[in-house]
């Protein structure tokens, strides 16, 4: 291992990161003799092959996905030979990796960018595990993960964070530095994990190259983001559940339609979409059923944690109809009310309703991308709505509101990213009737870095949306949610406000505070505390 790379991964101020990145390496060097000797191949690498770290995700009661990608030259295609490479893995019940309970060998293949997705089965529910990879004479950092409680098991508390929108060029991932220190059972990422924009020389950090369209270009863009040590630390510290929004492919894409169809013929965009989907799968700890098949990738799914909380992870990009009214923030045209317009597609909508109807969880979450609550961006008699969000798909949203009002699933919660700002809102049975029943709650998280320039406009219009309990468009960060059987608490963990111009997070060591907290009693209405 190159000394420079070793020292870079050991340089950290975090106690948890000392365990996961620092002590993980030292432990790996000590316990090398415990690895199986069955794999005889000793590949040679130009540099450390685990440059993108390790990750885990998709926790089930008896299994979890472990991830890594071999990339000694991560920003130039990975730097691996075009051959299959055996990768050993171990999972243990202790952080020193002495109590190994499962182990095996997987193959990093060039067709998947030498990424590794190991589904480890036979684990115990609701417990922490530690894991590590080895290839040749190189060992990875030690990661930590946690299985879900058994289905129906009574649990008293669950704690997770959600985040979205991490534009590399807008600033540093300081928020992840603090998230790595939280006590969490899960991290939920709601999209815009990468941004597809070209490199801009005047930004605080630059993208690597032009806007990606090929598989190698998307791989290089994902790899750039994964080199961030704060992001690596959060991946190594907790299991993740992920979904995408638009920037993983192309801004405001909709099914088979790109942002600029006049510039991208359909066949070119579909080839681009297939490349983006594959690169996304290669870099996320997803289960094999999400492995893409051409232009399709199964991403909507359900994760359940005992009898306390169930996550319906949605995909509002792959099946949506085109944005109405020629997209943007504008008055709604007739097409915004079209009953055939959809964000989820009919099959996913049916799947959602059936799952909510069957759920026995205390808290039922819709983890999705774009703002669900109705909001007019313009004060006064004029109106303007974000038609890329649910405000452009009014009938589809109303079908969900009607379902929540009529079927009454327990404590429906919508979690949202995309909009680079923080919101808390009551979900009304009818937004055109402010006195109609509250049928759910939406928590919108701000971005990790991506900027927001419409705070003054939103704040002026807020009195016209009395169902909105909180708005903050001036700070970046994430949300920590702490659930018990009696209440849901959301803490908005935010970095200091940045200057009106320039990077949104100019300080890689920016402090964080709990700027606002909200509690929702079981079957109650949210309030600020």
Lowest pLDDT segment from 3-7, 168-172, 420-424: 3-7
Residues 211 and 285 in one domain: yes
User: Do 223 and 288 fall into the same domain?
Assistant: yes
Of all residues in the chain, the percent with pLDDT exceeding 70 is: 92
Q: What is the mean pLDDT of residues 467-471?
A: 98
* Cβ-Cβ contacts under 8 Å for 394 (sequence gap 6 or more): 332, 336, 337
Q: What is the pLDDT of residues 370-420, one digit of tens each?
A: 999 999 999 999 999 999 999 999 999 999 999 999 999 999 999 999 999
Residue 302: inside a domain, yes or no? yes
Q: Which of 92, 112, 146 is the last residue of a domain?
A: 146
Q: What is the pLDDT of residue 172?
A: 98
Quote the CA–CA distance of 168 and 182 in Å, as a whole number: 23
* C-alpha dihedral sign at 138, 226, 199, 326: positive
Q: Tell me the C-alpha distance between 409 and 153, whole Å.
A: 19
Hey, what are 285's tokens?
A: 């700890």
313: β partners: 301, 367
Shared domain for 176 and 300, answered yes or no, is yes
| Residue 146 dihedral angles phi and psi, to the nearest 5° | -145, 135
| pLDDT for 16 beyond 50 | no
Determine, yes or no, domain membership for 471.
yes
Q: Are residues 197 and 307 in the same domain?
A: yes
Per-residue pLDDT tens digits for 279-302: 999 999 999 999 999 999 999 999
pLDDT at 331: 97
The domain tally of the chain equals 2
What integer is the mean pLDDT of 258-275? 96
Asked if residue 375 and residue 246 are part of one domain, the reply reads yes
Kindly tell me the sign of the dihedral angle through the C-alpha atoms of 455, 457, 459, 462. negative
Which pLDDT does position 40 carry in this prediction? Answer: 55
Q: Can you give the pLDDT at residue 35?
A: 80
Q: Establish if 312 belongs to a structural domain.
A: yes
Residues 462 and 520 in one domain: yes
Q: Who contacts 150 (Cβ-Cβ below 8 Å, separation ≥6)?
A: 61, 125, 126, 306
Is a pLDDT exceeding 60 seen at residue 368?
yes
Report how far Cα 171 is from the mean position of its chain's Cα atoms: 18
- pLDDT of the residue at 58: 98
Taking CB atoms within 8 Å and a gap of at least 24, the contacts of 481-484 are: 481/159, 481/160, 481/161, 481/162, 481/443, 482/157, 482/158, 482/159, 483/157, 483/158, 483/159, 483/308, 483/309, 483/362, 483/363, 484/156, 484/157
Q: Which of 23-32, 144-153, 444-453 has the least mean pLDDT?
A: 23-32
Residues 185 and 322 in one domain: yes
Are residues 399 and 466 both part of a single domain? Answer: yes
What CA–CA distance (Å, rounded) separates 336 from 327? Answer: 10
Whether 69 and 199 map to the same domain: the answer is no
Q: Report how far apart the first and last C-alpha atoms of the chain are (Å, whole number).
A: 50
> What pLDDT does 400 receive?
98
* CATH number for the domain harbouring residue 90: 2.60.40.380
pTM: 0.94
Asked if the structure places residue 151 within a domain, the reply is no
Give the CATH number of the domain where residue 292 resides. 3.60.21.70
In this predicted structure, the answer to whether residue 87 has a pLDDT above a threshold of 90 is: yes
Boundary of a domain, candidates 146, 165, 190:
146
Whether 140 and 165 map to the same domain: the answer is no
Q: Percent of the chain having pLDDT more than 90?
A: 91
**What whole-number distance in Å separates Cα of residue 121 and Cα of residue 106?**
14
- In the three-class reduction of DSSP (H, G, I as helix; E, B as strand; rest coil), residue 468 is classed as strand
User: The tokens of 498 are what?
Assistant: 């940045």
Tell me which of 96, 117, 146 is where a domain ends.
Answer: 146
Pair (300, 396) in one structural domain: yes
Whether residues 164 and 280 fall in one domain: yes
Helices (H) and strands (E) in the chain, counts: 10, 24
Decide if 59 is inside a domain. yes
Q: Which domain holds residue 169?
A: 157-528
The 10s digit of each residue's pLDDT in 125-145 is: 999 999 999 999 999 999 999
* Torsion region of 289: left, alpha or beta (phi above 0 gives left; psi -120 to 50 gives alpha): alpha
- For residue 152, being part of any structural domain is answered with no
Per the prediction, the chain carries an average pLDDT of: 93
pLDDT at 96 over 60: yes
| 42-47-53-58 Cα dihedral, nearest 10 degrees | -50
- Is it the case that residue 30 has pLDDT exceeding 70? no
Both structure tokens of 18: 């000392």
- The alpha-carbon radius of gyration of the chain (Å, integer) is 22
- pLDDT of 29 over the 90 cut: no
Is residue 466 assigned to a domain?
yes
């Amino acid at each position: 291992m190159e000394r420079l790379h070793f020292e870079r991964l050991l340089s950290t101020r975090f106690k948890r990161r000392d365990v996961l990145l620092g002590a993980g390496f030292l432990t790996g060097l000590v316990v090398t003799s415990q690895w199986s000797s069955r794999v005889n191949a000793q590949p040679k690498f130009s540099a450390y092959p685990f440059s993108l770290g390790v990750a885990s995700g998709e926790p089930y009661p008896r299994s979890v996905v472990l991830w890594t990608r071999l990339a000694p030259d991560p920003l130039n295609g990975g730097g691996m030979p075009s051959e299959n490479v055996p990768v050993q893995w171990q999972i243990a019940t202790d952080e020193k990796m002495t109590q190994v309970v499962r182990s095996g060998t997987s193959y990093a293949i060039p067709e998947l960018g030498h990424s590794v997705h190991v589904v480890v089965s036979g684990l115990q529910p609701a417990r922490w595990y530690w894991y590590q990879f080895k290839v040749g004479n190189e060992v990875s950092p030690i990661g930590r993960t946690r299985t879900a409680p058994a289905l129906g098991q009574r649990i008293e508390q669950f704690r997770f964070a959600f985040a979205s929108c991490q534009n590399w060029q807008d600033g540093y991932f300081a928020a992840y530095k603090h998230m790595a220190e939280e006590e969490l059972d899960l991290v939920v990422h709601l999209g815009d994990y990468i941004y597809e924009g070209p490199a801009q020389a005047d930004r605080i950090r630059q993208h690597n190259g032009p806007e990606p369209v090929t598989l190698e270009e998307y791989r290089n863009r994902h790899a750039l983001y994964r080199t961030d040590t704060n992001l690596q630390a959060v991946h190594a510290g907790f299991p993740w559940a992920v979904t995408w929004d638009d920037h993983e492919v192309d801004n405001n894409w909709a099914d088979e339609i790109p942002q600029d169809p006049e510039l991208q013929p359909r066949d070119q965009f579909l080839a681009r979409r297939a490349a983006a989907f594959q690169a996304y799968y290669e870099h996320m700890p997803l289960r094999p059923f999400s492995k893409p098949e051409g232009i399709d990738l199964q991403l909507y799914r359900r994760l359940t944690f005992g009898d306390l909380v169930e996550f319906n992870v949605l995909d509002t990009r792959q099946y949506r109809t085109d944005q109405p009214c020629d997209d943007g923030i504008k008055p709604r045209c007739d097409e915004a009310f079209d009953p055939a317009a959809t964000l989820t597609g009919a099959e996913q909508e049916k799947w959602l309703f059936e799952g909510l109807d069957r759920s026995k969880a205390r808290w039922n979450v819709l983890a999705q991308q774009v703002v669900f609550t109705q909001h007019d961006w313009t004060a006064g008699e004029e109106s303007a709505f974000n038609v890329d969000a649910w405000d452009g798909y009014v009938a589809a949203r109303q079908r969900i509101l009607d379902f929540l009002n009529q079927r009454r699933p327990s404590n429906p919660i919508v979690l949202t990213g995309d909009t680079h700002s923080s919101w808390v809102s009551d979900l009304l049975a009818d937004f055109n009737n402010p006195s109609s029943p509250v049928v759910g709650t939406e928590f919108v998280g701000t971005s990790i870095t991506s900027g927001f320039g419409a705070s003054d406009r939103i704040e002026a219009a807020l009195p016209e949306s009395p169902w909105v309990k909180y708005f903050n468009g001036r700070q970046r960060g994430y949300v920590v949610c702490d659930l018990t059987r009696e209440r849901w608490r959301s803490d908005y963990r935010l970095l200091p406000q940045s200057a009106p111009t320039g990077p949104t997070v100019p300080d890689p060591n920016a402090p964080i505070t709990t700027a606002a907290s909200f509690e929702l009693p079981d079957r109650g209405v949210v309030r600020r505390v």
